[in-house]
Amino acid sequence: MHIDGWTLLLQAVNFLILVWLLRRFLYRPVLAVIAERQAATERVRNEAEAARQAAETARESLEAQRTALPAERDRLIAAARAEAETERTALLDKARAEADHALEEARSRLVDERAQALDALQRHAADLGTQLATRLLRDAPSGALTRPLLDEACVAVESLSGPQRHALADGSDPVPVRLAAACPLSEDDAARARDRLAAALGRPVALELVEDPSLIAGVELHFAHSVVRRSWKQTLAEAKEEMTRHDSARSAADALA
Amino acid sequence: MTESPLTTPVVFLLGPVPVTLPVVATWGLMAVMVLGSALATRRLRVERPGPVQTVLELVVETLRRQIGETMQTDATPFLPLLGTLFLYLAVANLSGLVPGMKAPTAFLETAMALALVVLLASQALGIRRRGLWAYLKGFAHPTPLLLPLNLLSELTRAFSLSIRLFGNVMSGEFVIAIVLSLAGLFVPVPLMALELLLGLVQAYIFTILAAVFIGGAVGTIEKG
């Protein structure tokens, strides 16, 4: 058996050359086209996968929206009901407040009108009472009634303090005093009154006598700046004033109660 | 009676170099394979490949997958060497069935040349992948006492590769030739069909064993 070294070497070289040639003309182009196709397939697969993912995401989104619809509807209905309830309560409160306010105003107006009516009625009653008393007293013997009142007027002047009496005199000498009486006074009564006034004021008095039937009974001493009244007219006026004031106060208290 | 299967006929002399029959046959097969590949890969298309392109892609992809499964790694860097080994062996083994032709692999020099290429390639790839020192240390694994045996096994594996291929192909052709000379024209047809299968099986075995040796050398699989 003989092994040819040249053949062995040439066959090895031939094989290596064949490896290089097939690599150049077979493997490289075929592997390149396979890789290109695989890349294209992978690209298409990725696109399909992306499309599938997008579809899945859209489906999940739709499913979530579909699931959330009843809850959203209930929430909207509940919100609308709550809003309507709030608005109804507000309207009711406002109407109630307006009604209370109107009622309060009506009550207040009624009380005012009632007080005014009562006041007018009382004034009218007082006027009637005063007129009635005036008419009754006018027929009374005013001379007998005037004299004591003249004494009271003189007493009132005499009971004043020194400075007050000095103020009444106003520095005049004689002091002018106008004596208004409900009925004509006698000379004695006039002289006595002049004397008492002169004694009280500490200087002579020029007394002017005037008759004033409206006084009903009694007198009025008119000094320069002051008047001393002791007459039934004054008494009736004070009584009327006091009665009217008392009635008004009682009416206001009744209204407040 | 046919001539001895152990002799290598010289076709012509190229100066001092005798060009033998397997070398000439190999050149012919190389021309056919390279021209065929160049023609078949001229118009490769990504979309709608033709029948020839489909077959080419099927062959290349099958080779890559088989080599990858054997080496348990990406087979693309090893595909030119091992794929060419399988294609050449298959074509060369089957060429013996063509009347008037003799398979180059039926000569011991061709088988030994291929085994030598595998041996050298496994050493070179192992050194390049793992480094010289790490690769050499692998021969002393699991114990330095086994270093001579490991070295010897490298040689015997290559030797067994070549002898297996040579013996199978040569014996098949020799038996067919004997039967043909004794029995007549159509009697060896079943044997030729068997030789067809045998040639492909031998190409597969040689390629797979080469892949195993190279995988063991580069460390992707356990060294056998």
**pLDDT tier at A121, thresholds 50, 70, 90:** confident
**Residue B27: which of A4, A14, A40 has the nearest Cβ?**
A14
Please indicate, yes or no, if residue A112 is contained in any of the structural domains.
Answer: no
Instruction: Give yes or no for residue B106 having a pLDDT over 50.
Output: yes
Instruction: Give yes or no for residue B223 having a pLDDT over 80.
Output: no
pLDDT number for residue A256: 57
Mean pLDDT of A39-44: 93
- Give helix then strand counts, H and E, for chain B: 7, 2
Higher pLDDT among residues B222 and B152, named by residue = B152
Please indicate, yes or no, if residue A199 is contained in any of the structural domains.
Answer: yes
Nearest CA of chain B to the CA of A42: how many Å? Answer: 13
**Residue A25: which of B34, B64, B81 has the nearest Cβ?**
B34
Please indicate, yes or no, if residue A249 is contained in any of the structural domains.
Answer: yes
Please indicate, yes or no, if residue A18 is contained in any of the structural domains.
Answer: no
A34 touches chain B (CB under 8 A): yes
Interface A-B, measured as beta-carbon pairs within 8 A, has a size of 119
Nearest CA of chain B to the CA of A56: how many Å? Answer: 30
Residue A19 with chain B: CB contacts under 8 Å: 80-81, 84
Please indicate, yes or no, if residue A164 is contained in any of the structural domains.
Answer: yes
pLDDT digits (tens, 9 = 90+) for A89-111: 999 999 999 999 999 999 999 99
Instruction: Give yes or no for residue B116 having a pLDDT over 90.
Output: yes
Please indicate, yes or no, if residue A216 is contained in any of the structural domains.
Answer: yes
pLDDT number for residue B204: 96
pLDDT number for residue A251: 60
A33 touches chain B (CB under 8 A): yes
How is B48-84 classified by DSSP, letter by letter? S--HHHHHHHHHHHHHHHHHHHHHTS--GGGHHHHHH
pLDDT number for residue A169: 82
pLDDT number for residue B66: 95
Instruction: Give yes or no for residue A192 having a pLDDT over 70.
Output: yes
User: Across the interface, do B37 and A17 touch by the CB < 8 Å criterion?
Assistant: no
**pLDDT tier at B83, thresholds 50, 70, 90:** very high
**pLDDT tier at A172, thresholds 50, 70, 90:** confident
Distance CA A10, CA A7 (A): 5
| Single-letter amino acid code for the residue at B188 | P
Residue B46 with chain A: CB contacts under 8 Å: 33, 36-37, 40
**Residue A21: which of B17, B34, B110 has the nearest Cβ?**
B34
Residue A22 with chain B: CB contacts under 8 Å: 33-34, 37, 80, 83-84, 87
Distance CA A232, CA A217 (A): 5
pLDDT digits (tens, 9 = 90+) for B164-186: 999 998 888 888 888 888 887 77
The DSSP call for residue A213 is G
Mean pLDDT of A64-91: 93
User: Across the interface, do B56 and A26 touch by the CB < 8 Å criterion?
Assistant: yes
Higher pLDDT among residues B137 and A137, named by residue = B137
Residue B83 with chain A: CB contacts under 8 Å: 22, 27
User: Across the interface, do B30 and A18 touch by the CB < 8 Å criterion?
Assistant: yes
Question: Where is A230: in which H helix or E strand?
Answer: strand A227-231
Among A2, A9, A10, most B C-beta atoms within 10 A, so best to mutate, is A10
Q: What ipTM does the predicted assembly reach?
A: 0.93
Evaluate the CA torsion angle B194, B200, B205, B206 in order and state its sign. positive
Instruction: Give yes or no for residue A231 having a pLDDT over 80.
Output: yes
Q: Identify whether B5 is preceded by a cis peptide bond (ω within 30 of 0).
A: no
Strands of the sheet containing A218-222, edge to edge, are A205-211, A175-181, A218-222, A227-231
**pLDDT tier at A162, thresholds 50, 70, 90:** confident
**Residue A11: which of B40, B46, B113 has the nearest Cβ?**
B113
pLDDT number for residue A253: 65
pLDDT number for residue B123: 94
pLDDT number for residue B164: 93
- Return phi, psi of residue B66, to 5°: -65, -45
Instruction: Give yes or no for residue B1 having a pLDDT over 50.
Output: no
- Tell me the average pLDDT of chain B: 90
Mean pLDDT of A67-71: 89
User: Across the interface, do B79 and A27 touch by the CB < 8 Å criterion?
Assistant: yes
| Structural domain total, chain A | 1
pLDDT number for residue A1: 66
Instruction: Give yes or no for residue A255 having a pLDDT over 60.
Output: no
Please indicate, yes or no, if residue A170 is contained in any of the structural domains.
Answer: yes
Distance CA A35, CA B77 (A): 14
Tokens encoding B150: 């490991």
Mean pLDDT of B136-160: 89
Instruction: Give yes or no for residue B47 having a pLDDT over 60.
Output: yes
User: Across the interface, do B83 and A25 touch by the CB < 8 Å criterion?
Assistant: no
Please indicate, yes or no, if residue A86 is contained in any of the structural domains.
Answer: no
Among B3, B29, B34, B82, most A C-beta atoms within 10 A, so best to mutate, is B34
**pLDDT tier at B121, thresholds 50, 70, 90:** very high
Tokens encoding A198: 């002169």
Distance CA A247, CA B131 (A): 133
User: Across the interface, do B23 and A1 touch by the CB < 8 Å criterion?
Assistant: no
What's the gap between Cα A153 and its chain centre? 54
Residue A10 with chain B: CB contacts under 8 Å: 17, 19-20, 23, 113
pLDDT number for residue A2: 79
**Residue A18: which of B33, B41, B61 has the nearest Cβ?**
B33
3-state helix, strand, coil in chain B (%, to 5): 75, 5, 20
- Domain containing A173 equals 140-256
User: Across the interface, do A19 and B23 touch by the CB < 8 Å criterion?
Assistant: no
